[in-house]
Amino acid sequence: MTRVKICGVRRLEDALVASEAGADFIGLVFVPERPRRLAMDEARAIVDGLRASRAPEDDVPQVVGLFADQSLDVVNDTIRDCLLDRVQLCGNESLDYCRQTEAGVIKVLHVPGGEPEASVIDDLAERVSAYREAGHLVTLDRLVAGIPGGTGQRFDWAVAQEMSLRGHPFLLAGGLLPENVAQAVAKVNPWGVDVSSGVETDGRKDPDKIRDFVRSARQPPLVEN
């Protein structure tokens, strides 16, 4: 089953909609100067409310904190203060940096737009392998200069498809919508999908789009003739 991450959540009610829809991960942004960034008390209220909403035996989405080239002290303090399950590292964090975080890691690797050369694909495959062999999840997202994610821009899915064909599990991000996620899953066969702006209306999370996205991500793959 395709895993689903709803990212850039800023309100408890949106986290609850995502949880009830069956999302596996909820993403909270802690990157400075990003529009979806949360203060520590706001994030903790979402985490507490989300976990209090379900019985102990029920599955609750894992809460993922997003960071980009921030100090390890900041990342680890936030993990402890907000009781994060994982961190998503969206900058140039090294394997050694990842090793020192106090929660599981999702490492974002950025893919250039356009049709990349074979050497670029080979380099990406090597980087995916390195992080996966170290025990980390990987997200593939579109490279946009100066912005670590959440742009709503996609890269060539043929690149991600090639990663799948080489046996690399990853989350696919960038330009995903309720209307195209089933097609993306059918073409790419990712381990999971990650969405933020694609389930928003006028800059706010849209409950209907969240539900539609999760449902469409888990539809049986389309058979292409």
Q: Which of 7, 82, 90, 98 is catalytic?
A: 7
**Residue 98 known to be catalytic:** no
Q: Which of 14, 24, 90, 141 is catalytic?
A: 141
**Residue 14 known to be catalytic:** no
Report how far Cα 177 is from the mean position of its chain's Cα atoms.
14
Catalytic residues: 7, 141
